[in-house]
Amino acid sequence: MIEDGQWHRIEDLAEELNLPLEKVVQIITCLAKAKLIDYNEKTKEVKLQEWIKNLPVLKCKNNSKRSIGTLILPRDGGSAEIQGITIHNNSNLDLELDFLIENGKIKEINIKNI
């Protein structure tokens, strides 16, 4: 909704996201402090900052749903589970895993040292 870079009422965002207004205000406050959005407390409106609006957009194929995430695996035995798969880090380096999930299934994992 706010990807158009225009001002939007926070009440409309709460409705669109199906979240309580108080929760949306909490999220907006954090995003505004991080300089990701502009928040006009007087009019109760938000918009994306221009630099965010100009970032490349991830295009999904065939209306698929995509999620991305990052996971940190601590060295010497750190582990995590994604979609029922346990990943262990038995190296002596902390590792960062970036993953892409498309339509509920892991499609890509990128592993790098921190």
Model confidence pLDDT, tens digit, residues 38-79: 999 999 999 988 877 666 555 555 556 777 888 888 888 888
Distance, in Å, from the CA atom of 71 to the CA atom of 64, rounded to the nearest integer, reads 23
Write the CA distances from 111 to 6, 58, 101, integer angstroms: 37, 20, 15
Q: Where are the alpha helices (DSSP H) in the chain?
A: 10-17, 21-33, 50-53
CATH of 2-53, one of 3.30.420, 1.10.10, 3.30.920, 3.90.920: 1.10.10
Q: Are 41 and 52 in contact (CB under 8 A)?
A: no
Nearest Cα residue to 36 out of 21, 25, 47, 23:
47
Distance, in Å, from the CA atom of 20 to the CA atom of 38, rounded to the nearest integer, reads 20
- Top-ranked range on mean pLDDT: pick from 11-25, 53-67, 75-89: 11-25
Q: What's the whole-model pTM score?
A: 0.48
Q: Which segments of the chain belong to CATH 1.10.10? A: 2-53
Dihedral angle of Cα 46, 50, 51, 54, to the nearest 10 degrees? 110
